[in-house]
Structure 1
């Protein structure tokens, strides 16, 4: 038995579990692979450079956590673990994934974010029970079109890669609730996004889009929409239909106006339209009674939107770096306000009620 290590599994949440995380391990003790009833093995946050092929002995393994190590590859034997449902290997140095994923028919969660992957084996998309797939912060240039086979997928995150297009099959994933494709190189988005009727969160920030994908405003369950840092010059028509929206980011674009429908979103809590070319703000902001954060800095506004001082839940307001010469009265009504940024304007005095 490895000196100083407790290799006695415990029953946690009904599963036979061995926790070897945060132990400074450079290798997994060979004795571990003799515990053939093991269901959960956690070797995360160590200094492992490899997982031996003998892991194939753990045929009852339900969950493997090997994130936060220095792995450059995974053993082929991973594909023999037919009871595996959760595989976390994020934050390593993986440049490829082994063949054999098609045998993992019970796999529900696969997290390979923060590695050096340049491609994904198409056989991963034979794991038909996959519900959560996260591969952000890699070096992926494409997503295999067979992604459409993952009909149970609810969470797909491929932010921070080098994608130039999103596979059309993504729009056929009718159970998808969260889709992240931010910080890629997308200039277009496939047609059919309106089919994702269960989608709650959509992240398409940090790309090269010149328009919001048609159909986005036909997603009735959308709560979070972030398409900041693109090349949009026109705002999405029909945004007022997104009645469940709580978080809207359209910052860092080339917009000259805020969509008029924004002020008809009763559940909106965060709105960011900073760093655009806005000179006006649509009337009716006082209707956003749940708004907590409003960011409109780095624009060309000459006045603060009328009605801002009637927002009872406002906590943060940033109107810095505009062309404001006055501030509307009533700021003292904002009892929950914690941050007010008004620097880099043309104000000659502090707004009445601030002090």
Structure 2
């Protein structure tokens, strides 16, 4: 037999999933050998994809079938007939209906959950209507361009995921699925939403993001059970006022559209908690008079030029307020009314100043004003972070010392409730008794401070030599204690009771030591010891493992305790300016977590001023290079 005639008899196998090796024996000229699973080759030539019988059996027993991520271009017919397999069909489908094979065909469960996600399906056949019991259908991440009208026959369907396909339109029958609770249509090519969407009265979640929608029908107002609505990344220019009728709405995302205004009705949504309107063309925001539980408002990347006080009055419950990348030129003092505000982002606006009253918002954990043309605040103040910026603003509010005794303080025997405004306590959560000649504080006043959830106490610029004992009532609430500019020569161990302190300011006193009882301040993040009489760091300082910022300039410190600082793993700012340090140990360079190290004004010769001028990172590297091998 010639080689040509031998090759002509070899079956042509094109399926790439099976490797077939053909070896034609040329030396003997007596034929050829075919290696490989030939049966599998011919089996894969069948047009209809098949499933292992065991998969079908399990589906018939559990009512669930997961065929995701199989590379299928079409669904096997057995799926649509899975609950209608006759003994005749079972032979053709290689499915045993013999009860001796582990399955009683008369005791099967109807299919309720079908997952066909992450395949290559371009169509769904009309026979899907055979699966009348389906409650969950997931066909996301396929190549669907259309859906059959028969999908409307799946009246039991509660969850339908059609996301990440190529759908340009939806069949009207889909809006007949009255039991639908979740409809996911994100990442398609929908240009229009049928007004029959309002028929899905029990819908709770609707995601239409990343489509090409230019409008939303007013019938969306009928969806009174929807709690989460995502319309982001479309081409919307307006929202229908009827959106205010979506009483259950808690989360609304309309970022990345072309909205120039929001309907006033949006502000009456009683249960709205999260509103995302970034990347639009908004010039103002509606008043949220009815949204009494709003927690997060993100309105960055718009064209908002101002924040009216009446708007702030409707945002009293907001914790996160994002107004970055707008055109805001003035931040009103009424911002302090937002007593629950924790994050305020004003990055890249046109602010030239900030209200000093902002410094009283001790509950504010994050404040960003980078990218504004600030004229009244130095850049280094802004770069030091939220805590330092708020403190700087608060210091601008402090007036000059009052006239009184020879120390310049007005002396009172006791500060009582008449000395403060309860509303101010309520709004600022700060008991500010700075520069009032305080010697003691009435328990009545402290108890009121507890009722108003005060977390900050400012006793600076008084003539105190001891901490008022009545403050013990506030011990477990205070996170910020300011005792600066007083006459403390020693600090009472009572301060150790304030175990939730994050910030302790002791600057400008006469301290030369700190009590060991302060070791209970395990949460302390910032400590200010500037302008005192310390000759060395008190050992208790090195027990504050969460300390991030330590100011100790203008003392008499002689030795840099590197081993002590090594116990502070998150220390990033260390200010040792204007002390009596004659030697800087090279091992200090191993404190790589430091981002700001200030050593100017000390009598050491090395490092030289030229090295100090290069900044912290260069200084640490310089010191590391001089560590003895």
User: Structure 2 CA distance, aligned partners of 1:125 and 1:272?
Assistant: 37
Alignment check: 8 A CA contact 1:41 1:65 kept: yes
- Contact (CA 8 Å) 2:164, 2:187: kept in 1 or not? yes
Q: 1:305 to 1:55 in 2, by over 3 A?
A: farther
| Equivalent residue number for residue 249 of structure 2 | 199
SS in 1 for 2:65: strand
Residue in structure 1 matched with residue 585 of structure 2 by the alignment = none
The partner residue of 1:239 within 276, 288, 303 is: 288
Q: How does 1:318-333 map to 2 (within 5 A)?
A: 318-325=368-375, 326=377, 327=381, 328-330=389-391
Which position in structure 1 is the counterpart of 2:265? 215
Per the alignment, do residues 30 and 187 of structure 1 end up closer, same or farther by CA in structure 2, a change over 3 Å counting?
A: same
Q: Considering only CA atoms, is the larger Rg found in Structure 1 or Structure 2?
A: 2
Q: Are the structure 2 counterparts of residues 292 and 50 from structure 1 closer, same or farther at C-alpha, using a change threshold of 3 Å?
A: farther
Q: Matched residues in 1 for 2:357 and 2:188: separation? A: 44
Deviation at 1:75, TM superposition (A): 3.0
Count of aligned positions: 316
CA apart distance, 1:265:
2.8
1:258 equivalent to 2:312? Answer: no
Task: Encode CA deviations 1:192-211: one digit per residue, 9 max, x unaligned.
Answer: 22211111111122111111
Listed one character per residue, the Cα deviations across residues 329-350 of structure 1 (whole Å, up to 9, x for unaligned) are 517968689xxxxxxxxxxxx9
Question: Conserved in 2, the CA contact under 8 Å of 1:240 and 1:262?
Answer: no
Q: Which deviates more from structure 2 when the two are superposed, residues 63-72 or residues 99-108? A: 63-72
Contact 2:241-2:266 at 8 Å conserved across structures: no
How far the C-alpha of 1:304 sits from its partner, in A, is: 3.6
Q: Secondary structure at 1:253's aligned position in 2?
A: coil
Q: Which residue of 21, 24, 29 corresponds with 2:51?
A: 29
Please state how far the C-alpha of 1:126 moved relative to its aligned partner.
0.7
Distance 1:324 1:45, change over 3 A: farther
| Partner secondary structure for residue 219 of structure 2 | helix
Any conservation in 1 of the 2:121–2:142 contact (CA below 8 Å)?
yes
1:39 aligns with 2:63: yes
Q: 1:90 to 1:305 in 2, by over 3 A?
A: farther
Match of 1:163 among 213, 216, 219: 213
TM superposition shift of 1:87: 1.2
Q: In structure 2, what is the equivalent of residue 52 of structure 1?
A: 76
* Contact 2:219-2:242 within 8 A present in 1 as well: no
Contact 2:301 2:324 in 1 (8 A): yes
Runs (5+) with no aligned partner, structure 2 = 1-48, 84-109, 382-388, 393-478, 481-501, 504-524, 527-572, 576-594, 597-629
Partner of 2:186: 136
Give the aligned partner of residue 344 of structure 1. none
Per-residue deviation, residues 246-301 of structure 1 (Å, max 9, x unmatched): 11011111110124333553432221111111011132333434333322111101
- How far 1:239 moved relative to its partner? 2.1
| TM-score normalised by structure 1 residue count | 0.80
Tell me by how many angstroms 1:171 deviates: 1.1
Pick closer, same or farther for the CA change 1:95–1:310 going to 2, 3 Å.
farther
For 1:136 and 1:310, locate their aligned partners in 2 and report how far apart those are by CA, in whole Å: 44
For residues 306 and 139 of structure 1, the distance between their equivalents in structure 2, rounded to whole angstroms, comes to: 50
CA RMSD of aligned residues (A): 2.8
Cα deviation, 1:63-122, whole Å, max 9, x if unaligned, reads 112222232222322222111111111122222222211111110011111111111111
Structure 1 unaligned residues grouped into runs of 5+: 1-26, 338-349
Is structure 2 residue 170 aligned with structure 1 residue 120?
A: yes
CA distance in 2, matches of 1:307, 1:64: 58
Deviates more, 1:143-152 or 1:184-193: 184-193
Moved more, 105-114 or 46-55: 46-55
